[in-house]
Amino acid sequence: MTTTAPATATGPGTEDVQDAGHVDVLVVGAGVSGIGAAHHLQERFPDRSFVVLEAQDARGGTWWTNRFPGIRSDSDLFTYGYRFKPWRGPSIAAGQAILDYLDEVIAEDGLERRIRYHHRVTAAAWSSDEHRWTVEVTRSDTGERLRFTTDFLWMCQGYYDHEKPHQPHWPGVDRFRGPVVHPQQWPEDLDLAGKRVVVIGSGSTASTLVPALAKTAAHVTMVQRSPSYYFAPPTTHELAVALEPLDLPEEWTHEILRRQYLMQYHWLSTTARTAPDELHAFLIEGIRPLLPEGTDVEKHFTPRYRPWQQRIAIVPDGDFFAALREGRASVVTDTIEEFTETGIRTGSGEELEADVVVTATGFDLSAFGGIPFTVDGEAVDFAERITWRGMMISGVPNMAYLFGYFRHSWTLRVDLVSDVVARLLENMAVKEATTVVPTLRPEDAGMAVRPWSDPENFNPGYVLRSQHVLFKQGDREPWTHMHEHEEEQELLPKADLDDGSLVYR
Ligand SMILES: Cc1cc2nc3c(=O)[nH]c(=O)nc-3n(C[C@H](O)[C@H](O)[C@H](O)COP(=O)(O)OP(=O)(O)OC[C@H]3O[C@@H](n4cnc5c(N)ncnc54)[C@H](O)[C@@H]3O)c2cc1C
């Protein structure tokens, strides 16, 4: 275990920077990824020092910063929960229940002492001479600047900016008299009771917001440019209901339901590939009976893409459709021409009166939170780099990252990647290596380089508009990512760490 006592740094440009000491591993981010990473580190390497640096004032990432009404998972919690911590509760969970679950993990593992809140990482610099990272931090509460050093950096910063959501500019938005609110920046005191609300967007966030707002609003209109796929399962799985009277140990229930949901995911991803037309029909016919009579299903609920090319929006117990049936909400499929003083004018000239407009327009992806990285003084342009198994980056030493699944439960990948990182750290110790760098092998020279996401495979708007800032993938193992969980649960545990693509020194 390596730790050095904090001291005040000296030297040019360092006068006001506190030396925060050295740790063996430094994790960035205390969302579900960072907390999962911390659990695995603590379990596998009880003698190593590590800290988790978190920019916000609390844990939870997505589940802490998104506070819009009705926020809930659209994955089941038996697969969204970690493999090591049974989930107790309905399959689909409210945001607060997920935070409570994370709190239990933190308490049971004693992770609170590892997490430093208000610590925003602002730069990371690798030195091959010192074979370590220097990580610059600004405290968001005091403004103090700190400097940590670490042997290994584990980036769990998520995939979007929590402070700056994606907000398209619409003509006339400044003259609209009411508030324009993004779900990621929900004002605590916003009261929508009796108000006419327009929600711009479709998919998960919009279909979560609509029924929640429609409980008190005069009316909610969802305006979408194009339709999304929906699936309306019960909040609690039928199997969970059947297991309840058996009073099984919670680990068993967790594992049984986890396997059940994994089978469903695998069926979905396989059917999307082998029989997309059948899956399309299955999804559309599944919601048709839930829609108000006379709905133009072709116009409002028939997507223009193949199922699984984007995440399927889950509508637990069909509450979004109930709000439509009961006339508390409606859907308009059109472009937005402009904002007026009293609402929105659509491309086809329809006037949508609104007191409040909610822009469920999502986020832009960011590579490593936009943190500037250097390796031996050279700036790293991630857009020119290639991923190693969706968890390390070519030419960037001693750095792993955690990106979960976009279409399965994100967290399934947290456990799988953590296992590989643990094996990697063990492998370095066995070899007495201080450095590991993903490096293209001679046989990889001239390999075809492909975008971060192949639009044929996965093409939501936030991916297509952000591809240019993200790293690339190759045409062969281990330089690929975006596999299905079914495939990766076989691939990652067997990943060869000595196949020449990782150079140890
Ligand atoms: C509304 C919503 C609902 C979702 N529902 C689901 C779902 O049901 N199922 C699913 O699989 N996925 C879902 N997702 C995707 C979700 O983001 C992931 O499941 C998961 O929460 C990501 O966790 P994370 O820890 O990787 O990243 P985040 O949740 O983004 O957390 C990253 C953390 O890192 C911190 N951080 C970032 N940059 C820095 C820095 N420079 N210095 C220090 N700290 C930093 C952030 O403050 C944040 O706390 C949803 C996303 C949204 C927005």
CATH number, domain at 477?
3.50.50.60
The residue ranges of the chain whose pLDDT is under 50 are 1-12
Which residue type does 495 have? A
In a domain, 348, yes or no: yes
- For residues 295, 299, 302, 306, the Cα torsion angle rounded to the nearest 10 degrees is 180
In a domain, 64, yes or no: yes
- 209 shares its domain with 237: yes
Q: Which of 327, 359, 391 is the last residue of a domain?
A: 359
Tokens of 322: 């109930």
d(CA 377, CA 125): 7
Which is the closest atom of ligand 1 to the Cα of 34?
25
Structural contact between residues 393 and 436, judged by C-beta atoms closer than 8 angstroms: no
- 204 shares its domain with 219: yes
Cβ–Cβ contacts within 10 Å for residue 138, how many?
17
- 206 shares its domain with 305: yes
Beta strands in 413-462 (DSSP E): 436-438
What pLDDT is attached to residue 12? 43
What pLDDT is attached to residue 4? 43
- 227 shares its domain with 211: yes
Helical H segments across 56-203, by residue range: 62-65, 77-80, 95-109
Q: What is the pTM of this model?
A: 0.95
- 150 shares its domain with 199: no
Closest residue by Cα to residue 505 from 50, 126, 147: 126
In a domain, 293, yes or no: yes
Which is the closest atom of ligand 1 to the Cα of 68?
1
In a domain, 83, yes or no: yes
- 158 shares its domain with 195: no
What pLDDT is attached to residue 176? 98
What pLDDT is attached to residue 14? 53
- 142 shares its domain with 207: no
In a domain, 2, yes or no: no
What pLDDT is attached to residue 143? 97
**Strand order in 196-200's β-sheet?**
180-181, 356-359, 196-200, 219-224, 329-333
- 270 shares its domain with 354: yes
Give the chain's domain count: 2
Which residue's C-alpha comes closest to atom 35 of ligand 1? 29
In a domain, 5, yes or no: no
Q: Which of 359, 391, 411 is the last residue of a domain?
A: 359
Structural contact between residues 81 and 93, judged by C-beta atoms closer than 8 angstroms: no
Tokens of 208: 């979560």
In a domain, 28, yes or no: yes
What pLDDT is attached to residue 5? 40
d(CA 233, CA 260): 14
In a domain, 4, yes or no: no
What pLDDT is attached to residue 455? 86
Structural domain boundaries enclosing 317: 173-359
Which residue type does 435 have? T
User: Does 124 contact ligand 1 (Cβ within 6 A)?
Assistant: no
User: Does 318 contact ligand 1 (Cβ within 6 A)?
Assistant: no
Which residue's C-alpha comes closest to atom 3 of ligand 1? 73
Structural contact between residues 460 and 204, judged by C-beta atoms closer than 8 angstroms: no
